């Protein structure tokens, strides 16, 4: 079922269908919040709040746009508001990680170290390159969704992601 059909059903009073949208976009919303806030507890709060806001304003959703970009924008605004409210907030460095239950403790350590290294490398990129790269690889958005979200042509998104990857690869070699 398409997103706009789910939205239509919710607007007709069948609000239980909203669960499908939560199912579809929870990872996107949470990863966006996590990327922005770098704190698992605050990110969860922000992600929940973003879904509640989306639900409240479901009637204002314009089906001309993708639901993913709409909810991503709501998430970004929610994170901005949260950060504004909590000036001087210091993120907790204890993000829950998706660990392979089959993996050995050594593998978990390697994964954690790899993530840390990558985070450091990505943090070194300029926001122009960092943002589309994160949206593609971390939040799992498609090129067209990123283009719609960032309001830039898709060719620019592709080019920025390519350049970001190239810079990361060069940084990895150094």
Partner 1 sequence: MKKCITPRGYNRILEDMPDPRFLSRLEAHCRDCEKCAREMESWKELKDMLGSASGIAMPDGFKKKVMSRIDGERILPAQPAGGSRRFLAAAMVFMAALYSIFRPYLRPLLSGMVSRLFQSLSVLFYNFLSSIGIDPGVFIRLLGNTMANLPRIFPFFMAGTALTTVVFLLLILRGRAARQSG
Size of the site for partner 1 (CB under 8 A): 57
Is 153 strand, coil or helix? coil
The tokens for 16 are 């239980």
User: Would you call 18 helix, strand, or coil by DSSP?
Assistant: helix
**Single residue of 14, 86, 108, 115 touching partner 1 by CB under 8 A:** 115
Q: Does 51 bind partner 1 (CB under 8 A)?
A: yes
Smallest distance from partner 1 to CB 124, Å:
14
Tokens of 60: 């204002």
Contacts 24+ apart (CB under 8 A), 61-65: 61/7, 63/3, 63/4, 63/7, 65/148
Q: Is 126 in the site for partner 1 (CB under 8 A)?
A: no
Query: Any contact of residue 144 with partner 1 (CB under 8 A)?
Result: no
For residue 88, give the 3-state DSSP assignment.
coil
User: Which tokens sit at 55?
Assistant: 């639900």
Nearer to partner 1, 88 or 105 (CB): 105
Q: Site map for partner 1, 8-47, x if CB under 8 A?
A: --xx---x--xx--xx--xx--xx--x-----x---x--x
| C-alpha span between 81 and 45 (Å, rounded) | 12
**Which residues are near partner 1 by CB under 8 A?**
10-11, 15, 18-19, 22-23, 26-27, 30-31, 34, 40, 44, 47-48, 51-52, 54-62, 65, 69-71, 73-74, 77, 95-99, 111, 114-115, 117-119, 137-138, 140, 142, 151, 162, 165-166, 168-169, 172-173
């Amino acid at each position: 079922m398409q997103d706009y059909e789910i939205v239509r059903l919710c607007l007709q009073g069948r609000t239980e269908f909203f669960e499908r949208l939560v199912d579809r976009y929870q990872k996107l919303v949470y990863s966006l919040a996590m990327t922005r806030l770098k704190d698992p507890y605050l990110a969860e709060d922000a992600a929940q709040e973003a879904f509640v806001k989306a639900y409240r304003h479901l009637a204002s959703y314009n089906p001309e746009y993708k639901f993913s970009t709409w909810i991503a924008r709501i998430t970004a605004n929610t994170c901005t508001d949260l950060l504004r409210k909590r000036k001087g907030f210091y993120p907790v460095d204890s993000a829950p990680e998706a660990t392979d239950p089959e993996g050995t403790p050594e593998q978990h350590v390697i994964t954690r170290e790899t993530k840390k290294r990558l985070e450091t490398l990505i943090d070194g990129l300029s926001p122009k390159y960092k943002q589309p790269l994160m949206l593609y690889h971390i939040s799992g958005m498609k090129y067209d969704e990123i283009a719609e979200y960032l309001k830039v042509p898709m060719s620019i998104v592709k080019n920025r992601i390519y350049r970001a990857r190239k810079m990361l690869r060069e940084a990895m070699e150094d």
